[in-house]
């Protein structure tokens, strides 16, 4: 099946009891057993729930994986993956990383003896130079948040294979509509379903997809044991969102391209971060591993003054100043004080994340209205 057909049908079966075409919300905590241990595959909803099962199957199909696992948030999915490691293990990741991931790595798991290296992963020689006998994992985020850097997933996978490491790819920004990391050699794909996959800013959830049976068993054990699982109502909402993922992503990409080109030509804008530009550092890699370049755009104003950036953010009306991204509505944010505030200022600056950087999540509204909104705010 092509992607749009998969988004609507793959992994989804009509309800076996009633034939309902939409997956029911199984709002139950427990299930009747005929005899101790003799049940229909469901015992307790922390472990399994039919609504969640359908969503996990759909996600696995979209990512060309075999097993999907859903969590109560994207950070809960990150937490489960790192819990596969033990004290003394080391992880290599990008220096342009989502602030929540950086926080849980450095403020939580580093306290338990796991070491994290942050580097420019656009240069694979820097990645391989950090590999040692304690390295267990390469954590890839591409496109990165918020500088839209592109990391070569296939190249990282080749390094990992040579050194017997796991590759985890955070596919939140791209979604499987734009890239499928498992096909490029990644072992684990992670999502904040809160963003594009849900797509309507009405649910918080995370997910993991794998091909390997052993990895699935390890992660499913952690999922059940630690209990950070989503409820059936949230699973229903994401299932509904997936059915229009291909349509929404087409429009996000179209609008994102026009917003990026508008900003690039604006007299008050110093630099625009968007992987679709030929001058982007890893544009060719993006062309090879992505279908299109997405709806995320970041930029810095001339003069690079925080007060100017704040003034623009306060003037925007259709672009709403709020946390998160990937919804049908356009959002704007100031990473240094919002999504990436947990990263020390000196680390942000070393990674190239300016204190005045503005991040846009370009929605699916009419492009003329979005461009007019930006034009008014930039006057």
Report the percentage of the chain scoring pLDDT > 70.
Answer: 100
Q: Return the pLDDT at 348.
A: 83
For the chain, the 3-state helix, strand and coil shares in percent, each to the nearest 5, are 40, 15, 45
- pLDDT tens digit sequence for 105-133: 999 999 999 999 999 999 999 999 999 99
Beta strand segments in 164-310, E? 166-170, 188-192, 206-210, 269-273, 296-301
Mean pLDDT to the nearest integer, 245-261? 98
Closest CA to 371 of 296, 292, 266: 266
Q: Return the pLDDT at 351.
A: 78
Active-site residue list: 46, 98, 170, 195
Q: Which fold has domain 3-240?
A: 3.40.640
Distances (CA, A) of 60 to 69, 102, 229, 340: 9, 26, 17, 30
Domain(s) of CATH 3.40.640.10: residues in the chain: 3-240
Show the tokens assigned to 282.
Answer: 């890893």
Q: Is the peptide bond before 280 cis (omega within 30 degrees of 0)?
A: no
Confidence of residue 182 (pLDDT cuts 50, 70, 90): very high
What CATH architecture applies to the domain 245-378?
Alpha-Beta Complex (3.90)
Q: Return the pLDDT at 343.
A: 80
| Rounded distance between C-alpha atoms, residue 124 and residue 263, angstroms | 30
Q: How many CB atoms lie within 10 A of CB 200?
A: 15
Strands 90-94 and 135-141 come out as parallel
Mean pLDDT to the nearest integer, 168-183? 98
Q: Return the pLDDT at 347.
A: 82
Residue 352's region, left for phi above 0, alpha for psi from -120 to 50, else beta, is left
- Residue 274: DSSP 8-state: -
Closest CA to 256 of 299, 285, 193: 299
| Rounded distance between C-alpha atoms, residue 175 and residue 59, angstroms | 10
Strands 296-301 and 358-361 come out as antiparallel
Distances (CA, A) of 340 to 146, 193, 239: 9, 19, 29
Asked whether the predicted pLDDT for residue 211 surpasses 90, the reply is yes
Confidence of residue 340 (pLDDT cuts 50, 70, 90): confident
Least confident of 33-37, 106-110, 292-296, 352-356: 352-356
Instruction: Enumerate residues 6+ apart whose C-beta is below 8 A from 221.
Output: none
Least confident of 93-97, 147-151, 353-357, 367-371: 353-357
Report the percentage of the chain scoring pLDDT > 90.
Answer: 92
- Residue 44: DSSP 8-state: B
Q: Return the pLDDT at 338.
A: 87
Asked whether the predicted pLDDT for residue 36 surpasses 80, the reply is yes
pTM: 0.96
């Amino acid at each position: 099946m092509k992607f749009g057909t998969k988004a609507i049908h793959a992994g989804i079966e009509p309800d076996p009891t009633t034939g309902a075409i939409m997956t029911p919300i199984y709002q139950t905590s427990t299930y009747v057993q005929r005899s101790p241990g003799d049940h229909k595959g469901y015992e307790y909803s922390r472990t399994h729930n039919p609504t969640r099962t359908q969503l996990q199957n759909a996600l696995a199909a979209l990512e060309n994986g075999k097993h999907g696992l859903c969590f109560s948030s994207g950070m809960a999915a990150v937490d489960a993956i790192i819990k596969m490691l033990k004290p003394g293990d080391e992880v290599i990741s990008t220096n342009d990383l989502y602030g929540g991931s950086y926080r849980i790595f450095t403020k939580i798991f580093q306290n338990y003896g796991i070491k994290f290296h942050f580097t420019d992963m656009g240069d694979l020689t820097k990645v391989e130079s950090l590999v040692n006998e304690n390295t267990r994992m390469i954590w890839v985020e591409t496109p990165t948040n918020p500088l839209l850097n592109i990391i070569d997933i296939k190249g990282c996978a080749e390094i990992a294979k040579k050194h017997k490491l796991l590759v985890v790819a955070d596919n939140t920004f791209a979604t499987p509509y734009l890239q499928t990391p498992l096909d490029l050699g990644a072992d684990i794909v992670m999502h904040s379903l809160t963003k594009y996959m849900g797509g309507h800013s009405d649910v918080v959830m995370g997910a993991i997809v794998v091909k390997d049976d052993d990895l699935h068993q390890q992660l499913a054990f952690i999922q059940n044991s630690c209990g950070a699982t989503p409820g059936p109502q949230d699973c229903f909402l994401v299932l509904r969102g997936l059915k229009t993922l291909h349509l929404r992503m087409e429009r996000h990409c179209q609008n994102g391209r026009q917003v990026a080109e508008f900003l690039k030509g604006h007299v008050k804008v110093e630099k625009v971060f968007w992987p679709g530009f030929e001058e982007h550092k890893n544009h060719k890699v993006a062309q090879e591993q992505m279908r299109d370049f997405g709806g995320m755009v970041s930029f810095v104003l001339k003069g690079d003054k925080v007060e100017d950036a704040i003034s623009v953010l306060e003037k925007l009306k259709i672009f709403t100043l709020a946390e998160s991204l990937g919804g049908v509505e356009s959002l704007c944010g100031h990473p240094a004080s919002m999504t990436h505030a947990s990263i020390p200022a000196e680390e942000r600056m070393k990674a190239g994340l300016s204190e005045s950087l503005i991040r846009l999540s370009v929605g699916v509204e009419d492009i003329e209205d979005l461009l007019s909104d930006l034009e008014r705010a930039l006057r």
